[in-house]
Structure 1
Amino acid sequence: MTEKRLNKFISESGFCSRREADKLIEQNRVTINGQRPELGTKVQPGDSVEVDGKRIRASAADKTDRIYIAYNKPIGITCTTERDVEGNIIDAIGHKKRIFPIGRLDKPSEGLIFLTSDGDIVNKILRAENAHDKEYVVTVDKPVSERFIERMSRGVPILGTVTKPCTVKVVSKFVFKIILTQGLNRQIRRMCEFLGYEVTALKRTRIMNVSVDGLRPGQWRDLTAAEMAELNAAVAGSSKTAAEGHVRPAKRIKPGSEQRDGQAKPRSGNPRRPGGMGEGRGVLDRPQGKNPQGQKPQGNSGKAKRPADKPTKAVYVNPNAPSSKNKGQDKPAKKKTGGNTLTLKRKG
């Protein structure tokens, strides 16, 4: 055995996935030769690796000891390896070796899901940029319209991003088929909800070249040699992690910028208002004057245009000072005297 990163060594042994192995290392549950390692530590030939005191054996180089199964998950089963969760997928299958699911299906959803003891293949299948097909048959609460199909296939804004274009076809009045290459959280349900539909049934029928056909809900089988050959060929060029500079960050949608049909509101084309010149802001910094019609400017709309080559300097104006137009009228009126009021006059 050549040296390997610790998380890879653990995942290849079939104990768990690489992501879960990283969590175990962070929780100080892993030791190498009795010492607690850091993330990224490499295992050397002859090292003793333990998780919670249990020895982890190195996997066979030819992967003959790996498990790959296809399972038709029924509604109500939760895709978790936590055995204390009622209805967890591990207890539902009851496999004699330690396995874990590749991806997940929501508890109210059903259909095909892979389980394996090979942590090395998990990220290759799951990473969105590897673009591996997953096919679903979906039933909704309203008749499927042409506009709905067009919007779903073009992409829908959910979870702060826009879903990738996908293939969507009508199956019947309330049923459609969709093929995704993404795996966002509750993606299909959120997409339908955004367009005003509610999912009443969801079934995954295919992952890449493997179909759920022939498996009743709750049944599982080992992947065939032919299926594994196609699967390995499909992921041969897949990256386990995102290649640097290869994946662009998801386009963010500003809150409130979505219209009803999911399209971002078009910009007006007008230049942005300079800071301090908006309504209720920068009153003391505005240049005062009259426009060509002799009216006082109001905000930006009434401001007279100035030549671009003659910048004007903003002048401070006290808003409480009397204007020249009303000079003499802003003085407080003298109080009238009368009655028995005594008025004293100073001798000149």
Structure 2
Amino acid sequence: MLAPNFKRRLSGVTSTIIQLVPVQNRLGQQVAVIGPGLPESLPHVRFRDLWRLWQAGPDGRPRVWHARRNIEMLPGIILRDLLRMKLKLVFTSASQRKHSGWTKFLISKMDAIISTSNKTASYMALPSDVIMHGIDTDRFSPAADKADAKRVLGLDPDQKYVGCFGRVRRQKGTDLFVDAMIPLLPQNTGWSAIVAGRATGPHVEFENGLKDKVRAAGLSERILFVGEHTNINEWYRALDLFIAPQRWEGFGLTPLEAMASAVPVVATDVGAFPELLVVGHTGDITERDNLAAMIETAGPWIANDEQRSNAQSAARDHVAVNFTIEGEAASLGRVYDRLTACV
């Protein structure tokens, strides 16, 4: 199986490939990557070695070209249909909008289509397999001791923390999170808030405006901007509640990462979020781009210790059963096997 990545810039698609390929290979799927911007630790195929695709794979089966963008579907079509290489083409989509005519054409040439959510599948003109993303539930796991998890990060072990993690920008709803915390924290004196993530380019001024707003509200010591961290799994363990305030999202892994860490989640109704949470059991869903609704939904979760406590283990169990990266890889393997069995 080949996993092409033809964009140099790090994106959600690139991250998916980086996380999945080692797991797929542990499961015996023999996946190699092709293209720039990927770690050398992954098995690579060089462009000059693509001539080998004229040969059948193991047991005389065709190989699989698994595209995740238009720019990767088109080369697969050329290799299979014009150069007559022995390939089966798979496309995974996380898009939740109507496709252009060009994209529809490319998708129509695929041998199999995968949607990352039922909502994404509803935008497909052709049938697709729904395979949701999974996460590493060993990396994202509950804290053995919540107070110690806070102390390690320099946080107050006696405070409760609500977090919002990801890129700092309007699309991600960081401003909605901050605007919700400004009235909620004074009502809940034992709580503080954490914004973890990086603002880049034009979004730096957006972040600076949020910090100014926090200072004006006198909450600089309780709404913390901690920047980007490679040990983000440790920051999840320190949380008591997670909020995913996005205005738009293709899929969105942060609710899964939080729930795997035994942290209840309040998320907006975007991306796959409504399909990831069990409302009232692992967290709650609120209307996108609606500050009043976010305050109304998050407030009871902040105030109700019993509700959060009940949701902690439920959230962890929900992800461990339904959203592991091993489960995602196994589902992909079944699609590959189905295709390559049809020579």
Task: Please classify the TM superposition score into its range, dividing by the shorter chain length.
Answer: under 0.3
| Rg larger in structure | 1
Query: TM-score scaled to structure 1, two decimals?
Result: 0.26
Query: TM-score scaled to structure 2, two decimals?
Result: 0.26
Greater helix fraction, Structure 1 or Structure 2: 2
Higher relative contact order (CA 8 A, sep 6+): 2
